[in-house]
Amino acid sequence: MSSTTPEPRKPAQANSDASFDTLYAARKKLYVRAVTGLFANWRWALVWFTQLVFYGLPWLSWNDRQAVLFHLTERKFYIFGWVFWPQDVFFLAILLIISAYALFFFTAVAGRLWCGYACPQTVYTEIFMWIEQKIEGDHVRRQKLDQAPMSVGKAARRGSKFAAWGLVALWTGFTFVAYFSPLDELLASLLTLGFGPWELFWILFYSGFTYLFAGVLREQVCKYMCPYARFQAVMFDPDTLVITYDEERGEPRGTRKKNIDPRSVGKGDCIDCGICVQVCPTGIDIRDGLQYECIGCAACIDACDQVMDKMNYPRGLIRYSTENALKKHWGRKEILLHVLRPRTLIYGAVLVLVSLAFVWGLAARDPLRVDIIRDRSSLGREIEGGFIENVYQLQVMNMTEAPRAFQLAVSGMPGVRIGGVERVEVPAASTQAVTLQVLVPYDAGAPGANTIAFRITAEDNPALSVNEETTFLIPR
């Protein structure tokens, strides 16, 4: 028999357990060690910033209304001084493009900055872990508490932790719904527990998943559920700044006494303390190289720098660096120079251009819009006095937050005039429908479709006007 002939396949039942062990690893609970340092401070600064924005915006008032409100019932989005309508979905598309290119740009420059510092999963996990640490103690005490038999003290600590998590999760869900339903109405409903069915559903839904993801699953979300972890590598290149262990400097690793020159005992700077693993929220060992589970939080950098300080070794055994920098022994200056490379320049240029277009679109946004619909039930009819009448429905949209009156006029054919209302008042941030009869002398145009134009002008600002063309039908 040839040596290339495959061996007979074993029965599936015999391999079922082995296949299961290969595909699925049983979860080992992590007891993450708290760490302080530069990057931990940055991470907590982002926690404070993002949560002050998230929890605080619904409480801000603007023009006697909620400053930020995506009012689905009214089909209007209020964002400070702007009011957006369904017709403004273009701006949402541009905003999504900006977000995508910002993700591409920052990932190409310095890896998973979003995941490590601003992702909601990271932010709420940090908050829940802080609560856990304050109630149950540090990582050693938490592990001992898990291993201890159930007691009154253990039940009290666990109950307090779960209750605190639940309160944070419920307030998070309540705040989320406050972006889509007016906060004053939600507060009134909270006092009587009289939430509507959809409000109650989304409060419990968002709260439940906040509790589940940040309190229970934690690193499992980043490792197995987040799609970004799977495709991040396509945005990396050898000049992308990533969290890196300097193997050349650190190996061979091993223990030694303090203040001993590692080269004198044939070792590298790494003392194999394992603290970089203990502080990792996903439980990986950065010394094994870059892994998709790494969320770029840089906790291992802070931990390793503290150990290097205690051993009187230079910092930076674990640091932000690039593949090329390690191979070619670049310094900080060379690394920064290679940040400006074709990929980042293209991403940055597109990001700047799209952002400028977005800002220009907002600044040049017309505060008045008009939709004209001709009444198709009566295409054109002759009335007394030798006139032809067409009926139109005008939808006048006042995009500003002040009530306005508008003058209506029509042109485009000899003797054309409006037969009735020539003025319409539109409340702030509202749409007003008005029915207009337009009259034209019978002999003013050719039979069939003729072009006319409506002009709608604000009384308090003549420069604010809109011209909309439509057709006037004369029966044959």
Per DSSP, the three-state class of 348 is helix
pTM confidence score: 0.85
273, 341 contact by CB (below 8 A): no
- pLDDT of 207 above 80: yes
Q: What is the pLDDT of residue 25?
A: 65
Mean pLDDT of 3-13: 41
The mean pLDDT of the chain is 89
The length of the chain is 476
Q: How many whole angstroms separate alpha carbon 132 and alpha carbon 215?
A: 9
With bands split at pLDDT 50, 70 and 90, how would you rate the model's confidence at 24? low
- pLDDT of 12 above 60: no
444, 391 contact by CB (below 8 A): no
- pLDDT of 2 above 70: no
Q: Among candidates 307, 195, 203, which has minimal Cα distance to 258?
A: 307
Per DSSP, the three-state class of 111 is coil
With bands split at pLDDT 50, 70 and 90, how would you rate the model's confidence at 463? confident
pLDDT more than 70, % of the chain: 95
- pLDDT of 63 above 90: no
Q: Among candidates 145, 347, 320, 159, which has minimal Cα distance to 244?
A: 320
- pLDDT of 311 above 60: yes
- pLDDT of 14 above 50: no
The CA–CA distances, whole Å, from 377 to 296, 374, 382 equal: 64, 9, 15
Q: pLDDT tens digits for 339-377?
A: 889 999 999 999 999 999 999 999 888 888 898 988 777
